[in-house]
Amino acid sequence: MFGGAITALVTPFRNGAVDEDALRSLVNWQIEKGIDGLLACGCTGEAATLTTAEQLLVIEKVMEAAGGRVPVIAGTGTNATASSIDLSKEADSMGVDGVLLITPYYNKPTPKGQIEHYTKVADAVDCPVILYNVPGRTGTNILPETIAVLSKHPRIVAIKDAAGSAERVTAISNLCDITILSGDDALVMAQVALGGSGVISVVSNIAPSEMSDLVSLTAAGKLDPARALQARLYPVIKAMFLETNPIPVKKALSLMGMISDELRLPLVSMNEELVPELSKVLEKAEILR
């Protein structure tokens, strides 16, 4: 159901509010460049600093701009099961193609708590559910054995795995047949070669066609051109994490003239001393001309 390159969209701001015009333009550009899907209100979309009303607005505007041309996934996970259910139900009622649920952060639930949390949310909606494992942000990991249990739920169909390990694709695949989406741009080629179905990507905000090509070439077994593309993208991938995501990618999009370089506190604009390095990388990759 989900695969290829899916962009974890930034949320453009202007003067403190969601910039609806920039968001619409970004969605249209992504689709024109061949992206396979869009995620609204993920970590890259600064969901943690959006109000509930703003989250629903962003989801609505992304869906409107996409117009059914590609699947739209909504990030609806919080660190509380009750609010995750409420937000997921709202997004489901809007007609999203799926919801992405981050492991509850700060609470650090046990495997049993993870199973109960995800099961209750999945029970409350009718749309597909994607698990989101990102230990670097949440402080806890979803074990392959836990994923296997959750995969038995009819609506839990995929996992975005950002644990920084290609090995986990095999570990998970050996236990269940859930769809595995990479959450690490640097590992996309390796994870897809091992059986992953695609990526939910930060880098595709600025290089949608390239990331889509990387996934499709790898999936087709065309490894030589895939390796060449991976080598070209690798410095860009590294540059997107010169500071906390989405600081560098928002700076990159602003340099490309696509959005304002505005973030929500406690995130601030990229250290100006790093901007020349970022610009050089983008120019060499022919992303910034």
Which residues form the catalytic set?
Answer: 132, 160
Site of tokens 């703003």: 54
The b/e string for 238-253 (b: 16+ C-beta within 10 A; e otherwise) is ebbebbebbbbbbbbb
Per-position DSSP letters for 105-151, written without gaps between them:
TTT---HHHHHHHHHHHHHH-SS-EEEEE-HHHHS----HHHHHHHT
The b/e string for 106-134 (b: 16+ C-beta within 10 A; e otherwise) is eeebebeebbebbbebbebbebbbbbbbb
d(CA 250, CA 242): 12
**106 — alpha (psi -120 to 50), left (phi > 0) or beta?**
left
8: amino acid identity, one letter: A
Q: Quick one: tokens of 116?
A: 């109960």
Contact 163, 135 (CB under 8 A): yes
Contact 23, 65 (CB under 8 A): yes
